[in-house]
Amino acid sequence: MQASTDYAMKDATPETVSARSTLIKLTRKRLEKYATLLPKLMVGDDPETIHDLRVWGRRLQQAVRVISGKPKSKQLKKLLADIRRVRRTLGPCRDLDVNIAIVKAQREANGNGSVNRAWALIQHEFERQRPNLIERARGKLAGEELLKFISRTQRLTSAAERDFDPVEEISRAMTKSMDRWKESQAATGEQPDSAALHALRIAGKKVRYSAELLADLGQVDVNPLVKSLKEIQTLLGDWHDRTVMQKYIEKFIRRAGFLTDHSDSGRILLAELEKERLRNDGQVTNIRQKAAKVQQAWANWKAGAAADS
């Protein structure tokens, strides 16, 4: 279904018309990418498919929101709910895949000694859980009507006939998201807890996806902000992944009889957990430094946007 070209109002600038056209093309490409990944998940279990499906869902969600505007229609709410359901269903699978990757890295770093063997117990348990977790996720997603989802998204995209400036709307939404990011950053305080850092990570995702969409629309001045957001999100993502892994390992060690049957490995894993906690604590300083870079990049972008207006 092709988008109507009647949406280009007489008073719209050529730049605005071009941005709308580019946004619609980007949305179609994101839909195509997302729609090809879901069937792959139903027949394969590649960790990258799970990761990419979640990422492209967020990207599609962001683009469709801009096209549809406010207030949200029932069709848009249904579409966004479908994307969120897929992403959340796959969340535990993604966490487990990240845990397996971390454990493999630990084993590679520790050679063939007792520490390696202790981590091997964890890896075996994670890999044992994975097939069942994937199957449960597939069962929950089996009812997803992909063709109807595609049709709904195409209808929303093709109905983009309202008079709007994508760059202006994305910038406005990004400002709101950045306000929430700043609140989350302030809430981390001197001794940030898991909840505060997790909130900062989630708030940063919203700003980043808006900024990346602006960059895709040709707003190159936003690239330094995108770069700084990627840097802090990498640190926060690593922190989050290791926090999740620690919880998994703690639960594993507490299993009835484990410390009795594997006393040496149990002691080693407890020591390794402490190292991971210290590593996460040490990341807080780096996170604060990256947060300062984000705020500076944001101020620079805002100043440049004000000068251009």
Least confident of 48-52, 54-58, 163-167, 268-272: 163-167
Confidence tier at 124 by pLDDT (50, 70, 90): very high
Tokens of residue 261, six digits: 């049957």
The neighbour count for residue 82, using CB atoms within 10 Å, is 19
Helix (H) or strand (E) holding 169: helix 166-187
Amino acid sitting at position 4: S
What percent of the chain has a predicted confidence (pLDDT) above 90? 61
Domains along the chain?
Answer: 1-160 (1.40.20.10), 165-309 (1.40.20.10)
Residue 119 has a pLDDT of: 93
- Say if residue 10's pLDDT is above 70: no
Rounded to two decimals, the pTM is: 0.87
What percent of the chain has a predicted confidence (pLDDT) above 70? 94
- Say if residue 78's pLDDT is above 50: yes
The number of C-alpha atoms within 13 Å of 82 and in the hemisphere containing its C-beta is: 22
**Those residues with Cβ within 8 angstroms of residue 226's Cβ, 6 or more apart along the chain or in another chain:** 208, 211, 212, 215
Confidence tier at 309 by pLDDT (50, 70, 90): low
User: Cα(first)–Cα(last) distance of the chain, in Å?
Assistant: 35
The neighbour count for residue 90, using CB atoms within 10 Å, is 24
The three-class DSSP label of residue 221 is helix
Taking the C-alpha atoms of residue 207 and residue 203, their distance in angstroms, rounded to an integer, is 7
pLDDT digits (tens, 9 = 90+) for 253-280: 888 888 888 889 999 999 999 988 888 8
